[in-house]
Structure formats: structure tokens, C-alpha cells
Amino acid sequence: MSEADSAEPAARGSPAAEIPFLEALRGRVAERRADGRNLAVLLMKCGVMGQINALWGYQVGDAVRARIAASLRADVLRPDDLVGDMGPDDIACVLSTVEGPAVALLAAEKILRVVAAPLWMGEEEIYTRPAIGIAMYPDHGDEAESLVQRAKSACVAARDIAGRIAVYAGDRENPGQARFMYENRLRTAVAEDALELLFQPQYDLRLGQIMGADSLLRGRDAKLGVVPAEDAFAAAESAGVVTELVSSILNRALRNVSEFRYSAGLDLRIGVNIPGRVLLHTELPEVVERALRTWSLRPGRLVIEIGETSVLRADAAARETLVRLKALGVKLSIDDAGQALSSLFWLATLPFQEIKIDVAAASDLADVQKSERILQSLIELAHHLRLDVVAVGVADDAAAGRLKELGCDYMQADYRGPALDPKGFVERYGLNED
């Protein structure tokens, strides 16, 4: 058995499992001290192992980790490189000799391509969204433990950037500390009901006019900025105030859309985004119904956008909540960028009426005709499933015109209008709109 194999983990990333890997890494560091060459530690956070453990059990989770490690050995690493388990969701690789960071970055990009392939759990496709942090010997540390710690620090930073890869930078603000402070600030904002709403316009591509607004959360604390719904609800779950947060968001959104109607002549629909796991709170339909009655809004003008739709497959109570929301007459929209296309057929059995598609990636495709064919196929598939299509990430008027020709129903785009507070929204889109 090779030394790389000997660095394989015990079950579930226990502390004991890290010891063989760290010992092997210490040996590689000693070799590099002797010959003066570089090595790289790549720490990858897979992002789904905790869910796999919870849904299918630890034995399955261990088997998945072993499968990922085997793929890395076969397709990325050299015989003298190492791979090991550093935690329930963390896999570490050591490039025993590298010329410099550029080589480590190339290896990290290859790892992302390998791990991006779907994991099949029986008949289910599971997609990971890994992030990779890189630490170099001797530039970032000269001990095994410090290299691993700095690779983990870089991995935290990688989770917040588009490329999902980051090299450790010692002069950067500690990302772990920054994230901790953000989460605590957000929990305080949720507990004190200190989140406000911005509104981004949505356009009917067929009629060429504004038809709705999507509500976005923003903290009154300027340091929070725009808050992703999943972050806000995670903070609410931690504080035990999920129902209160839903009620606050709905009442703010419906109050403002009523003001848009009466003060600016805008009869708009309003979108409110919630993570799928909020559907596990079975009192949600009653909260929605109370808010609709309070602001005398027709139920069909409220669009509840559901992210993280995987919970619907796993939990019957969430599906029942969705059915009860549909019975109220509100519109239900799929807003889950990570949803596998094949799952649309299953989601079509649920009472959704709309799906959001991020078209920003289409501009990055080399073949424009292929890009358009892909978009047209997605739109046609959605229409066959009786789903309206909202395009987000539209670049300009030319792209909007082409989407209209392809049959897309609606769009939401920064170039046509940023997210605004209620006063700014009325000033820009009220009766004086061009």
C-alpha cells in the first residue's frame, strides 16, 4: 500500500483520522526543507457531506468521501501526492512538489471539474459545490499544522468568490472572524426586526412594461448590506424566530406594494423569497393568509419564491405546506439555481407556476447559437411543465429582445433598474415613468 493510501481517513473525519495524514504531511515538509523545493496544501470543503450523512447515514457518507478521494488520485494527483480526510466535509490534498502557486491553482481547477460531476445516490443526482483553499510551503508556513490551518482559512474565503478557489493571503482580514461577526450582526438584526426591504423591478417581456417587484432584504446596519434570504433565515432559526421573520417580511412587502398601487398607480405583483426548509413550519399558510387580509392584496399578486427545493423531496410536511399555500391563491415560484434539470420533472408534480432561470452564464458560452438553443430548450421545457419563466442576469436590451423572441415571459435585470427602497422605487417607476 502506498503512503498516499496510508493517509486515508478513518470513518467520518474523526480527529484520529487526521493523524496519519498530518504525519505524512510532516514527512513531505521535512523532504522540502532538505531539498529547498515548494509544496502545496489544498483544502477542499465539499459542501454536502453533512446532508448526505443526515439523509442516507454515515456509512454512505464515508463511501462517498472514499469515492471522491479515489477520483482525485486517479484523475488529478501524482503517485507521490497525498489525499486525506480533515473533517466531516473537508478533504485535503498535498502536491508534494510544485514550482509555485500557479501550478497549485491549475490543480485546484482540475479538482473542481472532477468533483463537479454528479454523485449518484441510488436514482438521485447529488451535486456538490466545493471550495478550495491553497497554502504554500514555505511561503505560508513551515509546519504541517500551520499549512493546514492556513489552507482552511483560504477555503473560507473561497466560498465567497465566483471561482471558488483562493490562495492564503496573510495580510487579508481573517475571513473566519469576519464571517463570525457578520453572523452575529445578522442574528441581532433579525431578533430586533431591523431588516428592511429593497425592491427590484420585474418586466413583462411580451408587453415591454414593469409588472412586478422582487423584494430583497437589507440590514439597517450598513455593514450588513443586502442579506441573502438563506442567511437571514439561518439566523432566524438560530434565534427561534422563523415565523416572526416571515411575518415581518410579508407585512413589509405587502404594505409597500399597496403603497405603490395607491400612491404611484402601480398595480404590481410582489416576490418574496424563502428557503425551502421554512416550509417545514406548518403555520406558514396562516401567516401568509393573515398578511394578505391585513393589506387587502389579491393572493395572486403575491409570489412566494422557494429556494433549496431539495427539502420538498425529503419531507412530506413541506410538500403539504406548499399545497396549502397554493390553495390560498398565491403564486409559487422555483428560485433554486442549484436545482438539477432532471428534477424539474419531479417538481412539476408540485403546485409551482413559475421558475427563475439565471441567464448570465449564457454570455460566457463560446458558441452563441448553442447558447440560444440551450435557453430556448429550457424555456420550452418550462412551458411544457406549465411554468412561466423569469430570466435574471439579463445583460442588456439586445439580450432582453432575444429572450422575448425565444419565448421568455419575464425578466429581472440590474441594467434596467437596481434594487431601490420604497421611496426610490415610487420616484423611478411611478406615474412619471418614461
- Asked if 152 and 197 sit in the same domain, the reply is no
- Asked if 373 and 241 sit in the same domain, the reply is yes
* Predicted local distance difference test score (pLDDT) of residue 16: 40
- Among 139, 170, 201, where does a domain finish? 170
Report yes or no on 183 lying in a domain: no
* Predicted local distance difference test score (pLDDT) of residue 347: 75
* Predicted local distance difference test score (pLDDT) of residue 4: 39
* Residue 311 · residue 280 · CB < 8 Å: yes
Strand blocks (E) in 9-81: 38-45
Q: Report the run of H or E that residue 399 belongs to, with start and end.
A: helix 397-405
- Asked if 209 and 136 sit in the same domain, the reply is no
Partners of 83 in the β-ladder: 93
Report yes or no on 270 lying in a domain: yes
Q: Could you give the CA distance from residue 258 to residue 34 in angstroms, rounded to a whole number?
A: 73
Partners of 45 in the β-ladder: 90, 131
Report yes or no on 264 lying in a domain: yes
This prediction has a pTM of 0.56
DSSP strand pairing (410-412 vs 331-334) = unpaired
* Predicted local distance difference test score (pLDDT) of residue 174: 54
- Asked if 156 and 220 sit in the same domain, the reply is no
The reply to whether omega before 138 is within 30° of 0 (cis) is yes
Report yes or no on 156 lying in a domain: yes
Residue of 21, 13, 15 lying closest to 82 (CA atoms): 21
- Asked if 111 and 237 sit in the same domain, the reply is no
- Asked if 17 and 67 sit in the same domain, the reply is yes
Three cell numbers, residue 70: 479515489
* Predicted local distance difference test score (pLDDT) of residue 71: 85
- Among 137, 170, 203, where does a domain finish? 170
CATH of the domain at 286: 3.20.20.450
Domain of residue 211, residue span: 193-429
- Asked if 198 and 166 sit in the same domain, the reply is no
Say how many Å lie between the first and final Cα of the chain, rounded: 73
- Asked if 102 and 199 sit in the same domain, the reply is no
- Distance, C-alpha 49 to centroid of its chain: 16
* Predicted local distance difference test score (pLDDT) of residue 294: 94
DSSP strand pairing (90-98 vs 82-87) = antiparallel
Three cell numbers, residue 156: 473560507
- Asked if 157 and 118 sit in the same domain, the reply is yes
Three cell numbers, residue 164: 471558488
Residue of 145, 144, 132, 18 lying closest to 85 (CA atoms): 18
Name residues of the chain where pLDDT drops below 70: 1-19, 47-61, 117-127, 170-180, 337-345, 361-368, 431-434
- Among 110, 137, 170, where does a domain finish? 170
- Asked if 240 and 113 sit in the same domain, the reply is no
Report yes or no on 311 lying in a domain: yes
Report yes or no on 60 lying in a domain: yes
- Asked if 120 and 218 sit in the same domain, the reply is no
Q: Could you give the CA distance from residue 27 to residue 398 in angstroms, rounded to a whole number?
A: 58
- Asked if 46 and 98 sit in the same domain, the reply is yes
| Count of structural domains, the chain | 2
For Cα atoms 278, 284, 287, give the angle at the middle one, nearest 5 degrees.
135
**Identity (one letter) of the amino acid at 35?**
D
Report yes or no on 178 lying in a domain: no
DSSP strand pairing (269-275 vs 209-219) = parallel
CATH of the domain at 43: 3.30.70.270
* Predicted local distance difference test score (pLDDT) of residue 5: 40
- Distance, C-alpha 371 to centroid of its chain: 23
* Predicted local distance difference test score (pLDDT) of residue 66: 81
Name the CA radius of gyration of the chain, rounded.
Answer: 24
Report yes or no on 187 lying in a domain: no
